[in-house]
Amino acid sequence: MPGLSPAEIGVVLLSLRVAIVSVICSLPLAILVAYVLARTRFPGKVLVDAVVHLPLVLPPVVVGFALLVLFGKRGPIGSFLDQWFGIVFAFRWTGAALASAIMGFPLMVRAIRLSIDAIDRRLETAARTLGGSRAWVFASITLPLALPGIITGVLLSFARGLGEFGATITFVSNIPGETETLPLAIYSLTQVPGGDVQAWRLSVIAVVLSVLALVTSEWLTARTTRVKSDDRR
Amino acid sequence: MIDVDLEQRAGNFVLRARFVADAPVVGLFGRSGSGKSTLINAIAGVTKPERGHVRIGHVTLFDSARRIDLSPQQRRVGYVFQDALLFPHLSVEGNLLYGHRLRATTVRFIDPAHVIDVLGLAALLHRKPGALSGGEKQRVAIGRALLAQPRILLLDEPLASLDVPRRMEILDYIERLRDEFQIPIVYVSHSVAEITRLADTLVVLSAGECVGVGDVDAVMGRLDLKPYTGRFEAGAVIEATVIAHDLDFDLTTLRFDGGELTVPGLNAFIGERVRARIRARDVSLALSKPVNLSIVNVMAGRVAAIQEESGPVVDVQVAIGDVVLTARITRRSRVQLGIHVGQELYALVKAVSFDHRSTGYA
């Protein structure tokens, strides 16, 4: 395969930027939500759980449409953010990142929640009796022990972001150089006569990126679990 | 001094525990389900009782009337759990220093080097908990709790998950730390052997209530507490002084108020105070002094009390000097021998019925 054209490099970089920014921005919230769902009981928990999982079961186009209504230039949240903070999502790459973040959110929360569920709560109790505040115990015990789940969640959400199509195209449309990520670019090429070859090239790139992400996360997970059982001779 | 008066409901279970104890080691004894864990969780601040108070020395940890409820991290209660609960992602050193680092320097009176030395942890410092044996884990857990500079140490069945040789080892370590660090210990167990070896004051818990509180020998001798202290574990505890060693036969002679006792060789100096537990089922009775007998401990005494039961066995309390032994004999023997309160007779105890579980330093 000959070298990539500047346009192709642009698409790849944009896709990576969208996926990485969406993961970084949603991670803290995902950890918080996962912790709350795993460790607390409150009225309406079922509802919160359902809302978090909604993007997993809804057609992506519906999510994209909802984003358009809420975060569009005239949407209640969109106009507020534009007016007060100058943040615009509609038809920008940031909107693509938002769509990716929301579509990947349930996957991230699920993975992290599972690993928090697997932690013996009495370890946290022990840490509290040793003098740790709630926040410190969370940072020094819960978070490191949940690391494998966090890595898995990050990978799943990242992969979801790279592949996100329906919500993105509905919310921010397909603007080359601004919102045209890999899947959108591939779709466009298949609609053009003779675009097959280029569609192939981009598809191969998508496969390579996904495999790289998978290998990296496997390696990181192996590292963290090895540290834990290192001296089990 | 530990002053506890707590009431807590958990489902159908109601804990109403009330005791005051001032001793280096307080034994908290009870069968599983008697409320031991509920009680120490409440002392540690892990759960919140409905009513009552917990005071350690002059510090109030909890008082519902005065609306005092210190958080677990403020209580400085060293809680050692049954299964160690070491932090798997930290090294032994990281575990040991976890609490130590969180305490203000003004309250750091226990030094890491001292704890590492007393508990023999120097060689383990850079290992991960996953690479430790059960006994090692428990030692690290005890060290970790100590280094969090506790006002009191709560040991919740620390031997439960260990095999018998390890138990002896940990008991030795607990005795050492009782002597080295001046921190009151609450030792929770359902094993009479462990409790009587370590504790000075005993609190017997049954169905959420404190049914007996007092000195170990007094409480263990009380016949009315037998249903709680257990049929086969019943017995008396004797405080005695080592007066002689027979090196040829590896035997040790102890003297207590009322007589002498020969036990298998103890690793103790002459003059040292030790504690021996005599199980009721190891004590036989004879009306006249027997001769040509293999049993080495024959002690003259007087029947102080008899607990009649409808079953096959009877517990007879025999006063030997100031010490009261309990003998468990069949009801038929009691009837055939005509044993009654006030009668003079002889209590027989085989030396080999003592093992190193039942004798330890006082």
Put simply, whether A126 touches B (Cβ < 8 Å) is yes
Lowest mean pLDDT among A67-81, B64-78, B197-211, B231-245: B231-245
Tokens of B245: 């060693």
pLDDT, residue B282, reads: 87
Do B288 and B330 touch, CB atoms closer than 8 A?
A: no
- For residue B198, is pLDDT > 70? yes
- For residue A2, is pLDDT > 70? no
Separation between Cα atoms, residue B79 and residue B65, nearest integer Å: 25
pLDDT, residue A5, reads: 86
Q: How far is B58 from chain A (nearest CA, A)?
A: 20
Confidence of residue B247 (pLDDT cuts 50, 70, 90): confident
pLDDT, residue B200, reads: 86
* Over residues B262-288, mean pLDDT: 85
Q: Can you give the pTM of this predicted structure?
A: 0.76
B106 CB-contact burial (10 Å; exposed 0-12 / middle 13-18 / buried 19+): exposed
- For residue B162, is pLDDT > 90? no
* Percent with pLDDT over 90 in chain B: 31
CB contact under 8 A, A136 and B102: yes
* Over residues A156-176, mean pLDDT: 92
The rounded mean pLDDT for chain A is 90
Q: How far is B284 from chain A (nearest CA, A)?
A: 47
CB contact under 8 A, B144 and A123: no
Lowest mean pLDDT among A185-189, B264-268, B294-298: B264-268
Residues in chain B within 8 Å Cβ distance of A119? none
Tokens of A63: 């999510």
Residue A233 lies in a domain: no
- For residue B202, is pLDDT > 80? yes
A117 CB-contact burial (10 Å; exposed 0-12 / middle 13-18 / buried 19+): middle
Query: Domain of A51?
Result: 7-228
Question: Domains of chain B by range and CATH?
Answer: 2-227 (3.40.50.300), 235-361 (2.40.50.100)
pLDDT, residue A91, reads: 87
| Tokens 């506790």, residue located | B150
Residues in chain A within 8 Å Cβ distance of B76? 131
pLDDT, residue B141, reads: 94
Q: How far is A190 from chain B (nearest CA, A)?
A: 50
Q: How many domains are contained in chain A?
A: 1
Partner-chain residue, chosen from B45, B130, B148, that has the shortest CB–CB distance to A231:
B130
Mutate to test the interface with B, among A130, A134, A136 (most CBs of B within 10 A): A130
Give the tens place of pLDDT for each residue, A134-155: 999 999 999 999 999 999 999 9
Nearest CA in chain A to B70: A129
CB contact under 8 A, B148 and A129: yes
pLDDT, residue A232, reads: 40
Put simply, whether A194 touches B (Cβ < 8 Å) is no
Confidence of residue A159 (pLDDT cuts 50, 70, 90): very high
Residue A112 lies in a domain: yes
Residue type, A66: A
Residue A59 lies in a domain: yes
Which residue from B142, B73, B50 is spatially nearest to B61, judged by alpha carbons? B73
Partner-chain residue, chosen from A131, A136, A145, that has the shortest CB–CB distance to B103:
A131
Do A138 and A35 touch, CB atoms closer than 8 A?
A: yes
- For residue B164, is pLDDT > 80? no
Confidence of residue B129 (pLDDT cuts 50, 70, 90): very high
Residue B195 sits at φ, ψ, to 5 deg, of -60, -45
Q: Show Cβ contacts of residue A167 under 8 Å, excluding neighbours closer than 6 positions.
A: A55, A60, A61, A63, A64, A67, A99, A102, A103
Tokens of A198: 């280029």
Put simply, whether A143 touches B (Cβ < 8 Å) is no
Tokens of B170: 């940990």
B230 CB-contact burial (10 Å; exposed 0-12 / middle 13-18 / buried 19+): middle
Q: Show Cβ contacts of residue B218 under 8 Å, excluding neighbours closer than 6 positions.
A: none
- Report CA Rg, chain B: 22
Confidence of residue A130 (pLDDT cuts 50, 70, 90): very high
* Percent with pLDDT over 90 in chain A: 70
Put simply, whether A31 touches B (Cβ < 8 Å) is no
| CATH number for the domain harbouring residue A100 | 1.10.3720.10
Q: Which helix (H) or strand (E) holds B334?
A: helix B331-337
Residues in chain B within 8 Å Cβ distance of A228? 88-89, 128, 130
Structure-model confidence comparison of residues B229 and A55, the more confident one? A55
Residue A163 lies in a domain: yes
Confidence of residue B240 (pLDDT cuts 50, 70, 90): confident
Find the distance separating the first CA and the last CA of chain A, reported in whole Å: 47
* Over residues B151-166, mean pLDDT: 86
- For residue B280, is pLDDT > 90? no
Residue A73 lies in a domain: yes
A-B CB pairs within 8 A amount to 70
| Tokens 């003592």, residue located | B354
Separation between Cα atoms, residue B285 and residue B304, nearest integer Å: 13
3-class SS at A117?
helix
3-class SS at B207?
coil
Structure-model confidence comparison of residues B353 and A116, the more confident one? A116
pLDDT, residue B211, reads: 85
Q: How many residues does chain A have?
A: 233
Please state, in angstroms and as integers, the Cα–Cα distance from residue A186 to each residue in A92, A179, A208, following that order: 19, 13, 15
pLDDT, residue A65, reads: 94
pLDDT, residue A103, reads: 95
Residues in chain A within 8 Å Cβ distance of B131? 230-233
Lowest mean pLDDT among A166-170, B40-44, B119-123, B191-195: B191-195
Confidence of residue B158 (pLDDT cuts 50, 70, 90): confident
pLDDT, residue B233, reads: 60
Separation between Cα atoms, residue A104 and residue A168, nearest integer Å: 12
Please state, in angstroms and as integers, the Cα–Cα distance from residue A176 to each residue in A41, A185, B76, B133, following that order: 46, 8, 62, 62
DSSP code of residue B142: H
Mutate to test the interface with B, among A125, A129, A150 (most CBs of B within 10 A): A129
Tokens of B142: 């005890």
pLDDT, residue A231, reads: 42
Separation between Cα atoms, residue B34 and residue B30, nearest integer Å: 6
Residue A165 lies in a domain: yes
Q: Show Cβ contacts of residue A107 under 8 Å, excluding neighbours closer than 6 positions.
A: A56, A153, A156, A157, A160
CB contact under 8 A, A228 and B130: yes
Q: How far is A47 from chain B (nearest CA, A)?
A: 27
| CB neighbourhood size of A151 (10 A) | 21
Q: How far is A45 from chain B (nearest CA, A)?
A: 23
Lowest mean pLDDT among A34-43, A167-176, A219-228: A219-228
Residue type, B356: H
Residue A2 lies in a domain: no
* Over residues A35-56, mean pLDDT: 92
Interface of B with A (CB under 8 A): 44-46, 71-73, 75-79, 81, 85, 87-89, 98-99, 102-103, 127-128, 130-131, 144-145, 148
CB contact under 8 A, B89 and A229: no
* Over residues B324-347, mean pLDDT: 89
Tokens of A103: 């579509």
pLDDT, residue A83, reads: 83
